[in-house]
Structure 1
Amino acid sequence: MKQIPVYHVDAFTSTPFTGNPAGVVPDAGALTEEEMQNIARELNLSETAFLLPPQHPEADLKVRFFTPTSEIGFCGHATVGSAWVLATDYGWLEKAERLVLETNIGLVPVEWQTTDGRLTDVVMTQVTPKVRDAEVSAADVARWVGVQESDLDTRYPIRLGHTGNWHLLVPVKTRAAIDAAQPMLSELEAINRRQEAVTTHLFTLESKGGDYDLYTRDFGPAVGIPEDPVTGSANGALAGYLVLEGVLDNATEHRLTFAQGDAMRRPGRLQISISSSPDGAVIRVGGAAVPTLKGMLTLP
């Protein structure tokens, strides 16, 4: 029998039992892929991050992400949770101003933000965004996500967006319509698998004076997650979509607050900046985290 440390971390929040919970295994170098999948299934969180020695010469650590059913290329909230644990329990906040994580989709730099020496936020720079046609009808999408076709916001196109994973991005007129959505999960699973997408992501630019600029909701049955509370990768892809589709001016720097999780009673907030570079839009996604459980996991 062997034991390894494991954490349960709520990401994109500073309040326990809100935001998106992730598993974090900080010392996974001796684990097999089968053991990682079994641990992710045992923890039964949307994603669990496993930290290993890096293979890339520019990386500080390698991280692999598993849902209860499969490995995925990238996970935003588990990245935030992992970086928070590394900073607070493994001394990285004193070692360096940032670290570089090697993931299956490339290198992801992560920076710390502090106030009076206290960690307040973790900010990751996601890979360069891209979009492609979803090749689906508005009527079908409305039926799959469980809203009326008239609820869709036709000012903006339905697209697949990517900053690490592909996500089906669906514009909706109002938060009320998003909150009332009753998705057909089996249908979404089939279309996302066909599109090689991880989730379907509903969004609205209606804020009505709230503490956010965009409101979202995310469904991922194709990777064993009926609904994910607060998604760093999907909202990063959405931020890229906003400039690539001309919703926002790509020559201007934008700082936005995205809200998600309210419909699941796990509200979270993401701080997202969008800037330009010679290589394309730069998407930086940040937020706080709070560990709620730390212990030892026993393996056979």
Structure 2
Amino acid sequence: MDSTGERQLYIVDAFTDTPFSGNAAGVVPEADGLGEKRMLQIAAELKQSETAFLALSNHPDADFRVRYFTPQEEIDFCGHATVAAAWVLGSEYGWAEKAERVVFETNIGLVPVDLLKEDDRLKLVTMTQVAPKLQEIDVTTEEIARLAGISPSDVDPRSPIKLGYTGNWHLLLPVKTREAIDVARPLLPELAAMNRRFRISTTHLFTFDTQDDNYDLYTRDFAPAVGIPEDPVTGAANGALAGYLLLEGIISADSRRLRIAQGHAIGRPGTLFVTVTPGERAPVIQVAGSAHISIKGTLNNAK
């Protein structure tokens, strides 16, 4: 920030290298001195699903403190905004020239992000999420299907409906076909109420029926409880999904890299690369993707 209160601002399309696809996030890389009220005002003004605010961290093992805001409220973690923030630091602030990793201090703990360069340009960023956890949810399959806007017969009985976590809780809903996911019409006010009741950030529909040999999974994500009707490409939810797949024995216990498609149903296609590695205490979940800076500007008098 300079003496006039001006701060740099970026709008970054995450999990894509194509402008105006993937999932857009706001990034304010020099947010030192901004209070919670001002950060919420900025996020509401930008109207992105999430905006990441970076400040210097007092944690000995972190480079930056990051807070995430939707236009409605602060949330503990956001995958695509983490990718966007790391991309700004690596490509605009020279971080990739001096280090191969940046570590973010977040409300859920430390999140390291590796920066991969190719031909002296940032190629990919990979965040290691916190250990995955699962919980049951005491709601019938019929009710969840109704709220998600699909038929109960579209739910895939081979996989359980559960809550998954790698920073936020997500309702993970297995669906038989990509077509059923694409035509889903969730009852957003009712879904928001149910998610608030169980403290769920998003409802995440997934299927192995990708209809594309380049992908392992196809997903779609709804987050009305935090003010986002549909989140195009979700790093946190897909990380939680990968942890669920391993913990439930749906994928093998060997190290596995999943290529996940999301955003196609709303014209913002993106790709996530999720690596699941068994660990001594818990699986290690790493979510990778590229990004594209679509807008660079200045916040005026942002004190």
In the superposition, the TM-score normalised over structure 2's length comes to 0.97
Q: How does 1:1-300 map to 2 (within 5 A)?
A: 2-250=5-253, 252-299=254-301
Alpha-carbon distance in 2 for matches of 1:129, 1:123: 17
The alignment partner of 1:24 has SS state of strand
1:31 offset after TM fit, Å?
0.6
CA shift, 1:2, in A, is 2.5
- Equivalent residue letter for 1:124: M
Amino acid aligned to 1:285? V
Q: Which amino acid aligns with 2:157?
A: T
Letter in 1 for 2:61: E
Number of residue pairs the alignment of both structures matches = 299
Render the CA deviation track for 1:130-187: whole Å, top value 9, x for unaligned: 0000111110011000111000001000000000000000000000000000000011
For 1:253 and 1:48, how far apart are their aligned partners in 2? 32
Mapped partners of 1:132, 1:185: distance in 2: 23
Q: Which amino acid aligns with 2:100?
A: E
Residues 96 and 117, structure 2, Cα contact 8 Å, conserved in 1: no
In structure 2, C-alpha distance between the alignment counterparts of 1:60 and 1:92, rounded to whole Å: 11
Higher mean Cα deviation, 203-212 or 68-77?
A: 203-212
Partners in 2 of 1:148 and 1:69 — Cα distance? 30
Answer whether contact 2:178 2:211 (CA < 8 A) is retained: no
User: Amino acid of the residue matched to residue 196 of structure 1?
Assistant: R
**How far did 1:207 drift?**
2.2
Q: Distance in 2 between matches of 1:116 and 1:299?
A: 38
- Residue aligned with 1:246, SS: coil
Unaligned runs of 5+ in 1: none
State the SS of the aligned residue for 2:240: helix
Amino acid at match of 1:238: L
Comparing 234-243 with 112-121, which one deviates more in the overlay? 112-121
Look up the equivalent residue of 1:260 and give its one-letter code.
Answer: Q
- Which amino acid in the other structure matches residue 231 of structure 1? T
CA–CA distance in structure 1, aligned partners of residues 275 and 15 of structure 2: 15
Q: RMSD over aligned Cα, in angstroms? A: 0.9
Gaps in structure 2 of 5+ consecutive residues: none
